[in-house]
């Protein structure tokens, strides 16, 4: 069938559908006749028509259509293939059922866009196979955890199938004869929806991303089947009292700033069902104003997720795979839906970087906007993003300078983030030059790779990746925060104290009180620019107040090749001991260690042509230990990455202070090296009665100092005197710039 004919056929079909308002049926629980109720409801016939008529004009839309055509044609060439479920994630049947929902979604879409009946017929044939198979299925043979699925090993994947499958079905449902329609309605979709709701309430009623996928699949199926009951349960829980369900999930899982409690990696994952289902709700029940709910928190969540990225990748706090970024399917969806509602041209530049958009009315708007040259750069800016439903469960702070590939400092002062949360209160990360400089390991997992425990979280995710020592924050007595119990962690969040962004000086401070019994620690971090410095430097001040002497370890996981070890180090050149016994320490080889010393030390490394000099000291004599991950890893599950641990023994109160300085350039192609020498001569810490001052003496002779009060209160005055110099200020912090000292 050629294109002109197919569009004409589609329009004829669409005309007869317009008589039945697409949202009318969803509002009544009485089933209407199949003939009037079969048309698409997740996308309106008019919108389908607009896409079919104009999509080809816009390169991004046309390219996406071509991409989906390739995918669906490959599936059609392969033939309908609905295997009896057998394999875990990554296995043959798992991947085939994934391909099936993608093909189903694509085929339905292409049928609407081209009018080619073959697409609809393929979707029908596949669904009829599912109708034969699905009723025969019990729990998946490789079923895992609390909620095995039927098609997949975990019900989560079944939910995802339903979210996409229901959309594909919606698009072709009016092409079916009544018998096929009834068969597929009942044997596939209603059964799946029943399985994922009332038959697995332990998932459906949770406040968790797995539940969001479930309610989205069930609710969308409700719209497609004109089943008001399913929709209502999806929105307000099985008891329809609002204590569970989609609305409650929105209320509890997002902060007012649109931060999702599990962190960016899962925010990305959860965003898809939130956004897709909300879009379906808006289409069918616009009066709910779902995108205005809580001051538009779902749209804010899209913006916030983009802010929580660097170099195109999400900041990998908590369980996170490092290669996930702005180009993921979920954010393609989020950007399209958000842009269609806000018209924010900055989102277009993200869509442009993604290189694709949805074959949906929202995707059409994105493609139109890009074709019209409306894109504007997304503004990555310093932000303090609140966590918790009321915004009072800690926060994620991001300091930024010099644009998207410039410096970004992340202070993780968020809540625990449930079971995927790591034990890393007041952890920090640093990015520069497009690279991860101070790092977070992320998750120990090879997603969907069967050879690695079937692609699930590896044992080392618990024994290493979640542990405090795998992060850049305080470890007391080689124990992890909250004793490594995330449920305890859920009860305690850091308290943000300070967040101030000024020209050349950005600062954030937060305090953690219950990670360890009897220990309070306060971290203040600043990004400081200075004309004598090549680039902004990070000043880090971590103050610990403990009720008894303890071992305090402060790790720094850095990325790069060591250039100089600026202290007397005992090298493990022919034997490397393991650092400790448990809580992640068993995974660290000791490369070098030192005797205790009160002197400040430095470590310099090279990463992607830039030098980094890290200078560090403490309030009492400390050791410096260079380590590498990879010990006690029998299955080679861990990446091997270096870290520096500063260790302070026998103190109750203590302060760690450091400066990280990016500088210079190594250009391998041109064989030139510039600025390989640090521009900081030394750093010192001065202690006053109720405040500290970190003093940087630059090689130029100038002094750059940062005063930080123990209390962040705005109206208190502080004074620190040492060596005849007095630093005096009012408020939580002050910066001092001085010429050469007398």
Where does this chain bind a second copy (CB under 8 A)?
Answer: 90, 95, 98, 321, 323-325, 327-329, 446-452, 455, 561-565, 571, 573-578, 589, 591, 604, 606, 628, 631-636, 639-640, 666, 668-674, 676-677
Residue 88 Cβ vs a second copy, minimum distance, rounded to whole Å = 12
The SS3 assignment for 559 reads coil
406 or 455, CB closer to a second copy? Answer: 455
Residue 177, C-beta contacts closer than 8 angstroms, at least 6 positions apart: none
174 or 628, CB closer to a second copy? Answer: 628
Residue 635 Cβ vs a second copy, minimum distance, rounded to whole Å = 8
Question: CB–CB of 338/345 below 8 Å?
Answer: no
Q: Residue 266 catalytic?
A: yes
Question: CB–CB of 686/693 below 8 Å?
Answer: yes
Buried b / exposed e over 583-592, threshold 16 CB at 10 Å, is: bbbbbbbbbb
Question: Which tokens go with 71?
Answer: 């995918």
Active-site residue, from 208, 210, 420, 481: 420
Residue 179 Cβ vs a second copy, minimum distance, rounded to whole Å = 35
158 or 185, CB closer to a second copy? Answer: 158
655-to-448, 459, 687 alpha-carbon distances in Å: 43, 34, 10
Residue 580 Cβ vs a second copy, minimum distance, rounded to whole Å = 11
Nearest-Å Rg of the Cα atoms of the chain is: 28
Q: Residue 210 catalytic?
A: no
Residue 368 Cβ vs a second copy, minimum distance, rounded to whole Å = 25
How far is 715 from 735, CA to CA, in rounded Å?
16
Residue 640 Cβ vs a second copy, minimum distance, rounded to whole Å = 7
Residue 256 Cβ vs a second copy, minimum distance, rounded to whole Å = 30
Q: How many other CB atoms sit within 10 Å of the CB of residue 538?
A: 23
71 or 488, CB closer to a second copy? Answer: 71
CA 378, 379, 382: angle at the middle one, nearest 5?
145
Residue 448 Cβ vs a second copy, minimum distance, rounded to whole Å = 5
Residue 104 Cβ vs a second copy, minimum distance, rounded to whole Å = 16
Active-site residue, from 105, 259, 265, 266: 266
- Neighbour-count burial of 190, counting CB atoms closer than 10 A to its CB (0-12 exposed, 13-18 middle, 19+ buried): middle
Residue 636 Cβ vs a second copy, minimum distance, rounded to whole Å = 4
Partners of 645 in the β-ladder: 555, 625
Q: How many other CB atoms sit within 10 Å of the CB of residue 731?
A: 17
CA 708, 711, 714: angle at the middle one, nearest 5?
90
How far is 435 from 456, CA to CA, in rounded Å?
27
Question: CB–CB of 22/45 below 8 Å?
Answer: yes
Residue 500 Cβ vs a second copy, minimum distance, rounded to whole Å = 36
452 or 557, CB closer to a second copy? Answer: 452
121 or 532, CB closer to a second copy? Answer: 532
Side-chain half-sphere exposure of 603, counting CA atoms within 13 A: 22
677 or 690, CB closer to a second copy? Answer: 677
Partners of 686 in the β-ladder: 693
Q: What are phi and psi of 486, to 5 degrees?
A: -70, -25
The sheet that has 623-629: what strands, in order across it?
Answer: 475-476, 550-557, 642-651, 623-629, 588-593, 570-571
Question: CB–CB of 562/685 below 8 Å?
Answer: no
The SS3 assignment for 167 reads helix
638 or 696, CB closer to a second copy? Answer: 638
What region does 268 belong to: left with phi over 0, alpha with psi -120 to 50, or beta? alpha
Residue 226, C-beta contacts closer than 8 angstroms, at least 6 positions apart: 25, 26, 31, 32, 37, 41
Side-chain half-sphere exposure of 600, counting CA atoms within 13 A: 20
Residue 508 Cβ vs a second copy, minimum distance, rounded to whole Å = 31
Question: CB–CB of 526/407 below 8 Å?
Answer: no
4 or 574, CB closer to a second copy? Answer: 574
- Neighbour-count burial of 244, counting CB atoms closer than 10 A to its CB (0-12 exposed, 13-18 middle, 19+ buried): buried
Torsion of CA 136, 141, 144, 149, to 10 degrees: -20
575 or 714, CB closer to a second copy? Answer: 575
Which of 294, 201, 305, 300 lies closest to 247, judged by CA?
294
Question: From the centroid of its chain, how far is CA 266?
Answer: 5
Give the position of tokens 């200078």.
Answer: 615
How far is 654 from 476, CA to CA, in rounded Å?
12
How far is 477 from 36, CA to CA, in rounded Å?
69
How far is 438 from 611, CA to CA, in rounded Å?
13
Which residues are catalytically annotated? 266, 420
């Amino acid at each position: 069938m050629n294109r002109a004919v197919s569009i004409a056929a589609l329009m004829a079909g669409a005309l007869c559908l317009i008589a039945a308002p697409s949202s009318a049926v969803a509002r009544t629980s009485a089933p209407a006749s199949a003939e009037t109720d079969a048309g698409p409801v997740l996308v309106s016939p008019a919108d389908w028509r607009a896409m079919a008529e104009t999509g080809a004009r816009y390169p991004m839309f046309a390219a996406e259509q071509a991409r989906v055509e390739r995918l669906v044609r490959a599936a059609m060439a392969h033939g309908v293939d609905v295997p009896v479920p057998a394999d875990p994630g990554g296995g043959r049947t798992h991947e085939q059922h994934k391909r099936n929902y993608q093909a189903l979604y694509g085929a339905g879409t292409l049928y609407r866009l081209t009018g080619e009946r073959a697409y609809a017929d393929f979707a029908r044939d596949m669904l009829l196979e599912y109708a034969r198979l699905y009723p025969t299925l019990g729990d998946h043979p490789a079923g895992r955890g609390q909620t095995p699925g039927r098609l997949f090993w975990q019900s989560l994947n079944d939910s995802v199938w339903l979210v996409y499958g229901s959309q594909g079905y919606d698009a072709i449902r009016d092409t079916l004869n009544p018998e096929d329609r009834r068969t597929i309605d009942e044997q596939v979709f209603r059964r799946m929806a029943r399985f994922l709701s009332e038959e697995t309430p332990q998932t459906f009623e949770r406040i968790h991303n797995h539940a969001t996928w479930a309610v989205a699949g069930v609710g969308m199926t409700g719209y497609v089947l004109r089943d008001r009951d399913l929709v209502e349960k999806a929105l307000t829980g099985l008891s329809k009292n609002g204590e569970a369900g989609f609305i409650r999930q929105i209320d509890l899982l997002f902060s007012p700033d649109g931060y999702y409690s599990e962190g960016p990696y899962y925010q990305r994952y959860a965003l898809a069902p939130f956004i897709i289902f909300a879009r379906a709700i808006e289409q069918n029940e616009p009066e709910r104003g779902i995108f205005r709910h809580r001051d538009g928190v779902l749209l804010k969540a899209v913006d916030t997720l983009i802010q929580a990225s660097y170099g195109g990748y999400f900041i990998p706090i908590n369980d996170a795979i490092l290669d996930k970024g702005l180009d993921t399917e979920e954010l393609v969806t989020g950007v399209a839906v958000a842009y269609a509602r806000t018209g924010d041209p900055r989102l277009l530049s993200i869509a442009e970087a993604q290189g694709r958009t949805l074959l949906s009315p929202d995707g059409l708007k994105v493609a139109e906007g890009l074709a019209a040259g409306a894109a504007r750069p997304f503004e990555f800016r310093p932000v303090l993003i609140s966590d918790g439903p009321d915004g009072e469960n800690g926060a994620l702070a991001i300091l930024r300078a010099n644009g998207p590939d410039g410096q970004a400092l992340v202070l993780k002062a968020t809540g625990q983030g449930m079971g995927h949360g790591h034990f890393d209160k007041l952890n920090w990360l640093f990015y520069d030059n497009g690279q991860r400089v101070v790092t977070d390991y992320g998750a120990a997992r090879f997603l969907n790779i069967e050879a690695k425990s079937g692609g699930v979280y590896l044992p080392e995710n618990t024994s290493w990746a979640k542990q405090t020592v795998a992060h850049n924050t305080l470890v007391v007595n080689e124990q992890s925060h909250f004793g490594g119990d995330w449920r305890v962690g859920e009860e305690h969040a850091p308290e943000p104290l300070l967040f101030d962004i000024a020209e050349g000086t950005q600062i954030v401070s937060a305090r953690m009180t219950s990670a360890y019994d009897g220990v309070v620690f306060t971290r203040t971090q600043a990004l400081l620019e200075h004309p004598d410095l090549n680039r902004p430097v990070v000043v880090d001040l971590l103050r610990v107040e403990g009720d008894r002497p303890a071992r305090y370890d402060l790790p720094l996981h850095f990325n790069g090749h060591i250039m100089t070890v600026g202290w007397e180090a005992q090298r493990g050149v022919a034997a490397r001991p393991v650092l400790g016994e448990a809580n992640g320490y068993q995974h660290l080889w000791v490369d070098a260690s030192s005797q205790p010393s009160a002197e400040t030390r430095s470590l310099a490394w090279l990463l992607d042509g830039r030098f980094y000099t890290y200078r560090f000291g403490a309030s009492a004599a400390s050791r410096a230990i260079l380590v590498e991950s990879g010990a006690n890893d029998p299955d080679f599950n861990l990446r091997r990455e270096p870290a520096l641990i500063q260790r302070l023994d026998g103190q109750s109160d203590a302060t760690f202070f450091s400066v990280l300085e990016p500088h210079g350039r190594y250009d391998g192609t041109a064989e030139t090296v510039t600025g390989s020498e640090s521009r900081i001569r030394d750093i010192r810490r001065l202690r006053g009665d109720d405040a500290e001052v970190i003093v940087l003496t630059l090689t130029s002779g100038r002094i750059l100092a940062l005063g930080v009060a123990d209390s962040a209160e705005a109206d208190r005055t502080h004074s620190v005197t040492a060596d005849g110099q007095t630093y005096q200020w009012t408020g939580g912090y002050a910066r001092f710039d001085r010429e050469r000292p007398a």
